[in-house]
Amino acid sequence: RGLDHRSHYANGNPLGPIFERFGAVQVTPMSVFELLSRGENVLLFPGGAKEVLKRDGQQNTVIWKDEVDFVRLAAKTDALIVPFASVGADDAFKWHTDTDELLALPFVGDAIRQSVKIVDSSLRP
């Protein structure tokens, strides 16, 4: 099962329900534990969204965060971790503007920062 970022469920975002129709599950430690306990397979990118859509200069690299909660869950449920890579995935999407460049723009940067605060506060438990 594909694991879906929780931002797709915040503030009435329509993406979460759409992805659920294709079998995705909102990623939380509990949802992953339940899936693995039932013997289901899960697809997890250790670096999250940053692993999927990388910035310039990060192509063909692995972004593994310091948090290992999902590795512990796999160990507790005797799940097998299968590393994989897809050649060319980083070439499928080209960023035309970097985040730092957007944040430096007058008005636009402030609007982005405000939007992130709203989304971030809605995601906190």
Whether 58 shows a pLDDT value over 60: the answer reads yes
- Residue 25: pLDDT over 90: yes
- The amino acid present at 111, given as its one-letter code, is A
Give the angle 97-100-103 at the CA atoms, nearest 5°: 95
Specify the pLDDT at position 98: 74
CA separation for the pair 28, 111 (Å, rounded):
29
The answer to whether the CB of 31 falls within 8 A of the CB of 25 is yes
Residue type, 11: N
Share of the chain above pLDDT 70, in %: 83
Measuring CA to CA, which residue among 48, 60, 50 is closest to residue 86? 60
* Rounded mean pLDDT, 36-44: 90
For range 84-98, the mean pLDDT: 71
Q: Would you state the pLDDT for residue 109?
A: 84
pLDDT at 89 over 90: no
Task: Give the separation between CA 48 and CA 5, rounded to whole angstroms.
Answer: 8
**To which residue do tokens 């099962």 refer?**
1
Asked if residue 43 has pLDDT above 80, the reply is yes
Whether the pLDDT of residue 122 is over 60: the answer is no
> Which amino acid is present at 65?
K
Of residues 58 and 104, more confidence is placed in 104
Average pLDDT, rounded, for the chain: 81
Minimum mean pLDDT range among 44-58, 69-83, 101-115: 44-58
Q: Which helix (H) or strand (E) holds 70?
A: helix 69-76
